[in-house]
Structure 1
Amino acid sequence: MSIEPHYFVAISLPDQVKEHIAAAKQALKHPFPFQKWVHPEDYHLTLAFLGSSSADQLQLLAEQLDKKICESDAFSLQIDRLGIFGNVAKPKIFWLGVKEEKKLTSLQNKVYDECKKVNFKLETRPFHPHITLARKWKESTFPIEALQQKNPFVHKDLSFSVQSIEIFQTQVNKEPKYEKIHTSLF
């Protein structure tokens, strides 16, 4: 049975930031034993999950993003915290967060608007910008207090410039599993 590809719009991380996160991840694996750690090439910050799509719909979205996103200004994001999604005792997602940035929220709103214009059905949950590090907690209880104590990003200035967004295709049976299929530059 063939798995249909899924797509999403995201901000890619620069290679040097991916490398820094990958190195810091090694220090996190022992205190935070998750089942599946994300491949460093797959680090990104999702703006909109699209699901499955036709080639025509993706092409139309790419054209719309090129027109609207080029009006955006570059901005910087700073990684500043660790967090979890899901049950506090047994979380599903372990992530890195970024400092609040109004330009990021504005960009995400623009992306959502363009996705809706080409009939993508989007999630309605509030936007929580993050970079997924790992999935599926494998111990009995998550050490919530360790999030700040073991955070290798707290005293680092791990910031990066955002100058483009990409449409990615998910390739479930490959690693890394996300492939850029379109880039829209600011």
Structure 2
Amino acid sequence: MKQHYFIGIKIPEPIANEIVNERENTNVHETHKILPVADDLHITLFYLGHVEQNVLASIVQRLQDIQWEAFELTTSGLSHFGNEQTPRVVFTGVENSNPLVVLQQEIVQRLSQVIEITNVTSFIPHITIAKKWSSKNELHAKDFHLRKMRFEVSHFSIFQINNNRSPHYEEIEYIQSRRG
């Protein structure tokens, strides 16, 4: 099986732990096949899929050339992709952030210099807490009450996906913000 990668922002451990703990106030453990562990929580900036090692090295080089300032993000409750009663993905959102959108667009622009980008979809920043619907019951999440939490984004990473172990996502490259 070919190795797959994505670019993302790892959620800080205290916030990830709180999200996973609050997830227990839902029934996603009954309705979804995949419940990411706290160490796997992230915001995907771009899914790369399979890329050869020499291409990955070029991607890293381009991404390290991005000049960006650290910024803060704030969590914003629970949402989903798909039908409300049977969503394919349940996630914690983040409040609108212009610096995040600009960073994501710059990443896509840099990637387009190295790889062909064909499936540009609208960027909806989110932290997946459950995916792959697998139930006849409806989702019950009314007791999910995650307080708003702020965290600094001072780096993003390239993650290697390791489906055969937990955590699944391994940070293999680390791209730091510029220091002011």
TM-score normalised according to structure 1 size: 0.87
Distance 1:150 1:32, change over 3 A: farther
SS at match of 1:133: strand
Structure 1 counterpart of 2:145: 152
Distance 1:44 1:120, change over 3 A: farther
SS at match of 1:28: coil
- Alignment RMSD: 1.8
Alignment check: 8 A CA contact 2:28 2:130 kept: no
Structure 2 counterpart of 1:12: 10
1:67 Cα shift?
A: 1.1
1:150 Cα shift?
A: 2.2
Alignment check: 8 A CA contact 1:49 1:122 kept: no
SS at match of 1:117: coil
The answer as to 2:59 corresponding to 1:61 is: yes
| Whole-angstrom CA distance in 1 between matches of 2:169 and 2:113 | 24
Structure 1 counterpart of 2:37: 39
| Whole-angstrom CA distance in 2 between matches of 1:46 and 1:56 | 22
Structure 1 counterpart of 2:175: 184
| Whole-angstrom CA distance in 1 between matches of 2:2 and 2:101 | 30
Q: Structure 2 matches for 1:97-108, cutoff 5 A?
A: 97-108=93-104
Distance 1:76 1:125, change over 3 A: same
1:12-51 deviations in Å (ceiling 9; x for gaps): 1111111111221222236973232111111000000001
Aligned residues, how many?
177
SS at match of 1:48: strand
TM-score normalised according to structure 2 size: 0.90
Alignment check: 8 A CA contact 1:166 1:184 kept: yes
Gaps (5+ residues) in structure 2? none
The answer as to 2:128 corresponding to 1:132 is: yes
Alignment check: 8 A CA contact 2:7 2:45 kept: yes
1:44-64 deviations in Å (ceiling 9; x for gaps): 000000010011111111111
Identity percentage of aligned residues = 26
1:7 Cα shift?
A: 0.6
Larger deviation, residues 82-91 vs 4-13 = 82-91
Name the one with the larger helix percent: 1
The answer as to 2:166 corresponding to 1:175 is: yes
SS at match of 1:142: coil
